């Protein structure tokens, strides 16, 4: 394109593209939601800052440190180290990279033991790091079987992974037990709480699901502000119990102002840290508790409505994810899509999956259930 196009025309093109996007209102498949307005304001103000070069942006860097402090407090370790990542995928890749660096493992032999339900980002990590994944089977409630994890450990195992809020079913692994296993075996334990990290602490009885640094075996945690944290995309959090562990990722970065870098991305957005800082400070625990309590009440509403239709749940919801068995789930998903409802399906077992994010209100659920009845002819 030799000649540029005038601004007005481009803005029209952008509007046109934006209008073709699906508004969150009828989306029950996503783990993201409309960000809090204060996160949007902060994002806009800091969009030009680059945390890959933090000495040029000391103000933004201080916001990132404050985010890590707040996330650490939430996860029972105010002194935790870490940084704001692009999301759960980067956090999981970096956590496994840390374990590999710490063990100075031979990549050709090293393995990681994790639940069958762990997110596919671990497959990306394994490919990049050249390590093998050993996936342990789940029990009837879709939590990992800890005895099976123990049996998979051998002398080349470099880390264990547990999940606090599985992507498909929202289940929480028995992390207290896995923490004990990690300590017995002297292994690095990473907890993927990308989804559950901003839900579990705000449940009515959070002590039912202990998952974070209060468990002595937990060495790192992934927690995503851009999911239930109400921040803007891309905002993830990777936290470490020990600063020295994060330092295992250090790479010399001579041409920059900071000399060393431990993040996966080089140039990285300061807007994510600013947005996360703003929304966490603004909502406080009280605000998140209110949001989670509403999501859980709506989760129960959807669960009760689907049960009343005679459908069978896969598990009783632990977090704000509802899964029900329906005959030919793929066909049902497509029919719902034709009616502008966006849900997803799970594979094992096959089921319809709905994530009750803050935009999935009572009214949305009632309208959705009415349409689902038509699709299922009940």
Task: Give the interface with ligand PLP as residue ranges (CB under 6 A).
Answer: 31, 87-89, 92, 119, 121, 163, 165, 167, 192, 194-195, 224, 236
Read off the tokens for 229.
């944290």
Collapse the DSSP code of 46 into the 3-class scheme (helix H, G, I; strand E, B; otherwise coil) and give the result.
Answer: coil
Report, in Å, the least distance between residue 49 CB and ligand PLP. Answer: 21
CA distances from 340 to 151, 285, 326, 344, 366 (A): 46, 34, 19, 13, 15
In 305-327, which positions are buried (b, 16+ CB within 10 angstroms) versus exposed (e)? bbeeeebeebbebbbbbbbbebe
Report, in Å, the least distance between residue 253 CB and ligand PLP. Answer: 24
Read off the tokens for 354.
């709905």
Toward ligand PLP, which CB reaches closer, 88 or 305? 88
Toward ligand PLP, which CB reaches closer, 238 or 301? 238
C-alpha 115/C-alpha 163 separation (Å) is 8
Report, in Å, the least distance between residue 31 CB and ligand PLP. Answer: 5
Toward ligand PLP, which CB reaches closer, 36 or 227? 227
Report, in Å, the least distance between residue 234 CB and ligand PLP. Answer: 7
CA–chain centroid gap for 221, Å, is: 10
Report, in Å, the least distance between residue 168 CB and ligand PLP. Answer: 8
With vertex at residue 13, the alpha carbon angle to CA 10 and CA 19, rounded to the nearest 5 degrees, is 140
Toward ligand PLP, which CB reaches closer, 89 or 372? 89
Toward ligand PLP, which CB reaches closer, 72 or 88? 88
Report, in Å, the least distance between residue 223 CB and ligand PLP. Answer: 10
Toward ligand PLP, which CB reaches closer, 218 or 372? 218
Number of continuous H segments (helices) and E segments (strands) in the chain = 11, 13
Collapse the DSSP code of 32 into the 3-class scheme (helix H, G, I; strand E, B; otherwise coil) and give the result.
Answer: coil
Contacts of 226 (CB under 8 A, 6+ apart): 32, 35, 87, 232, 233, 234, 235, 236, 272
């Amino acid at each position: 394109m030799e000649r540029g196009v005038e601004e007005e025309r481009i803005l029209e093109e952008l509007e046109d593209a934006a209008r073709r996007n699906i508004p969150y209102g009828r989306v029950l498949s996503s783990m993201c939601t409309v960000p809090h307005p204060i996160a949007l304001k902060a994002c806009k103000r800091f969009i030009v800052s680059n945390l890959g070069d933090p000495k040029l942006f000391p103000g933004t860097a201080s916001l990132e440190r404050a985010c890590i402090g707040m996330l650490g407090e939430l996860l029972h370790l105010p002194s935790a180290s870490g940084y704001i990542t692009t999301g759960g995928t980067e956090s999981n890749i970096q956590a496994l990279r840390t374990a590999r660096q710490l063990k100075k493992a031979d990549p050709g032999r090293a393995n990681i033991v994790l639940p069958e339900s762990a997110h596919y980002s671990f497959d990306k990590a394994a490919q990049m790091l050249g390590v093998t994944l050993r996936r342990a089977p789940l029990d009837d409630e879709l939590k990992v079987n800890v005895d099976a994890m123990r049996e998979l450990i051998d002398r080349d195992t470099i880390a264990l992974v547990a999940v606090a809020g599985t992507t498909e079913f929202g289940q929480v692994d028995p992390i207290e037990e896995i923490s004990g296993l990690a300590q017995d075996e002297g292994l690095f334990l990473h907890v993927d709480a990308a989804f559950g990290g901003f839900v579990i602490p705000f449940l009515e009885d959070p002590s039912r699901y202990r998952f974070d640094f209060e468990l002595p075996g937990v060495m790192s945690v992934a927690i995503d502000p851009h999911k239930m944290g109400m921040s803007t995309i891309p905002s993830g959090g990777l936290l470490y119990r020990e600063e020295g562990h994060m330092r295992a990722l250090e790479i010399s970065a001579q041409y920059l102002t900071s000399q060393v870098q431990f993040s996966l991305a080089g140039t990285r957005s300061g807007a994510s840290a600013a947005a996360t800082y703003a929304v966490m400070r603004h909502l406080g625990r009280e605000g998140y508790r209110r949001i989670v309590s509403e999501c859980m009440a709506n989760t129960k509403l959807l669960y009760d409505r689907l049960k009343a239709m005679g459908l069978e749940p896969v598990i009783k919801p632990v977090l704000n994810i509802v899964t029900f068995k329906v005959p030919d789930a793929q066909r049902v998903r497509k029919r719902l899509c034709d009616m502008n409802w966006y849900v997803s399906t799970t594979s094992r077992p096959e089921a319809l999956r709905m994530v009750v994010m803050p935009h999935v209100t009572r009214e949305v659920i009632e309208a959705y259930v009415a349409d689902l009845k038509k699709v299922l002819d009940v």
